[in-house]
Amino acid sequence: MAAFTVDFQLCFIAILVWLFSCFCLSAFFFKKRKEPELQDCNLPPSPPSVPVIGHLHLLLSVPVHKSFQKLSLQSMVLSFTFAPLLAQLFWSHRAPWPNEVHEETTSHKSSGLSFSRADTAHPWGRTYDIPCYVTLFDKATKKEAVDVGKEMINLTNNTICRQGRTHAFMRMIMGSKCSEENGEADQLRDLLTKSLSLVRKFLIASTVGRLLKKLGISLFEKEIMEVSQKYDELLEKIIKEREDNPNKKEDRYLIDVLLEKMLKRLREEIESVVGKTKLIQEIDRSNLSYLLAVVKEGLRLHPHSPIVVRNATEGCKIGGFYIPQNTTMIINTYAVMRDPDSWEEPDEFQPERFMVPPSKGNKEMREQLDLNYIPFGSGRRGCPGSNLGSIFVGLAIGTMVHCFDWSIDGEKVNMEEAGDVNLSMAHPL
């Protein structure tokens, strides 16, 4: 009887192995026939694919935006680094191009991703963005006076540190920073890191997820639920605390990004406009053209999101190529903003490129610059906080340059990047 049980198990395993081999062989030898409507279509060129896994290996290479950039330089892959194509992608196909990606993201409302990246087609899609618009953003959109400069100085006075970003994030979303003492800030930092690392997995899931879902396998479900639940718990706790202490006075911290090279010129400009005794305010920005150019150039060379994603809800034509329905398209903002065909000396930090005088002859050049400058994405799902973001970063950098003396260890600031889907400095200042 015992011998029979062992044989049965072996038999079962053998059948599984046989089924799996058949699946692999059929995927290798019998390529799926093109859907009838795709047969005479001019599909975009693609790099060579590997049997069974297709292009999955390309998604797994690190960092994604750099490997895609290399790929688009090496082969004829349709790469959206060409301004007229970008315009078509972001603007001409508004209806069939909502933004973000697929069910794994949208089925878990409270994960850090879906928090801001909901599909507009979902009933809760836009409304779920609402928590992001409270306090500062809300005031800014209503054109109420927001003393962003004062906010920044309060932040600066407290701490210049990496943690500053977490507090700035919380302050924008919740109108308050989270506490360092009871570990809340660490918890949030941990959650942010986890949700950012999930973005990469979402990309993989959007490539192979549908097939696996048919087989009853849901990718990354457990991880998403875990992060989701932790967000819920933390947000509940913060909301409760705020309800209990509505007037609690808040300290503020700072977003810190600093590019050292043009420091002297920047300081001279700020001192000539603002003076040595006053502090920089939002109203000064219009006279600080070099500061604005430094911020733009920083975001061009080091975009926070090196890739943005679009999903075709309907088939459409872009640049003469047919893009089938449900295609996930990755727009490499990093490569677009370093494309040698669009930018002179693309890898150099040259804020002056954004200081084109407003003469008639430069109109075309400005339009070209605008089309290829996409640190905030573009189109219908472009960043709604781009103005606030620029003000915030501008005043943060301006205040830091104005109020502090800076020196660096060694000869240069190490600008090596870390992260895939959201970039940060690998060696923070």
The residues that touch ligand HEM, with contacts defined as CB under 6 A, are 99, 116-117, 129, 132, 137, 172, 299, 304-305, 308, 375-378, 381-385, 388-389, 393
Residue 221 exposure: Cα atoms within 13 Å on the Cβ side:
7
Q: Judged by CB, which is closer to ligand HEM: 132, or 234?
A: 132
DSSP 247-305: T-------------TTHHHHHHHHHHHH-SSSPP-GGGGGG-HHHHHHHHHHHHHS-S-
Asked if 421 and 307 touch (Cβ cutoff 8 Å), the reply is yes
Please state the closest distance from residue 252 (CB atom) to ligand HEM, in A.
15
Q: Judged by CB, which is closer to ligand HEM: 147, or 271?
A: 147
Q: Judged by CB, which is closer to ligand HEM: 27, or 103?
A: 103
Q: Judged by CB, which is closer to ligand HEM: 209, or 375?
A: 375
Q: Judged by CB, which is closer to ligand HEM: 96, or 384?
A: 384
Please state the closest distance from residue 132 (CB atom) to ligand HEM, in A.
5
Report the residue number whose CB is nearest to ligand HEM: 377
Angle at 144 between CA 142 and CA 145, to 5 degrees: 150
Residue 351 exposure: Cα atoms within 13 Å on the Cβ side:
18
Please state the closest distance from residue 139 (CB atom) to ligand HEM, in A.
11
As a whole number of angstroms, the distance between CA 153 and CA 160 comes to 11
Please state the closest distance from residue 230 (CB atom) to ligand HEM, in A.
21
Please state the closest distance from residue 111 (CB atom) to ligand HEM, in A.
14
Asked if 311 and 205 touch (Cβ cutoff 8 Å), the reply is no
Neighbours of 364 (CB within 10 A): 9
Please state the closest distance from residue 397 (CB atom) to ligand HEM, in A.
11
Please state the closest distance from residue 344 (CB atom) to ligand HEM, in A.
23
Give the CA radius of gyration of the chain.
25
Q: Which residues contact 18 (CB under 8 A, 6 or more apart)?
A: none
Tell me the torsion sign for CA atoms 139, 140, 142, 144: positive
3-state secondary structure of 308: strand
Q: Judged by CB, which is closer to ligand HEM: 228, or 333?
A: 333
Q: Judged by CB, which is closer to ligand HEM: 132, or 429?
A: 132
As a whole number of angstroms, the distance between CA 191 and CA 203 comes to 19
Ligand-binding site membership of 383 (annotated):
yes
As a whole number of angstroms, the distance between CA 150 and CA 362 comes to 36
Q: Return binding residues.
A: 383
Q: Return binding residues for heme.
A: 383
